[in-house]
Amino acid sequence: MNSTSQPPPRQPGSLGKASLVLGILASIFVFGIGLCAGAGQQQGWLQLVGTPLAILGGTAAFMGLIGAVLGFFGLFGRNRARGTALVGMALGIAAVALFVAIVNATQK
């Protein structure tokens, strides 16, 4: 019998996984909507579709905010892997920051 006790293996964090998925999806959606808004501003048709793009971008940014909050709470807890929660939180914050930057860049 081995007298050295090893710590129990780390369990996967469901909050971290949810945060990572939401952060990835939010970043992709905000980036794509931002590309559309940038092209629309250069080509002059942003005035026609600005409201739907703002609503879709805001929704994706809110999804990123939820992912960041879940990632924050995924950092706490005993015996949980924290890497996915940290990356998900960073991606969620990046999606919100990107949305704010896009809105500021497209306003005249």
Distance CA 37, CA 32 (A): 9
- pLDDT tens digits, one per residue of 22-31: 999 999 999 9
Model's pTM, two decimal places? Answer: 0.84
Residue at 45 is within a domain: yes
Overall number of domains in the chain: 1
3-state secondary structure of 80: strand
DSSP 10-25: PBPPHHHHHHHHHHHH
Contact assessment for residue 92 and residue 26, using Cβ atoms and an 8 Å cutoff: yes
Residue at 68 is within a domain: yes
Residue at 6 is within a domain: no
Domain of residue 41, residue span:
14-106
Q: Which residue has the higher pLDDT, 15 or 1?
A: 15
- pLDDT tens digits, one per residue of 29-86: 999 999 999 999 999 999 999 999 999 999 999 999 999 999 999 998 777 778 899 9
pLDDT, position 79: 75
pLDDT, position 8: 67
pLDDT, position 18: 93
pLDDT, position 3: 60
pLDDT, position 40: 93
Residue at 8 is within a domain: no
Residue at 2 is within a domain: no
- Give residue 101's identity as a one-letter amino acid code: A
DSSP state of 7: P
Burial of 38 per CB tally in 10 Å (0-12, 13-18, 19+): middle
Distance CA 108, CA 91 (A): 28
Distance CA 30, CA 58 (A): 8
Distance CA 27, CA 21 (A): 10
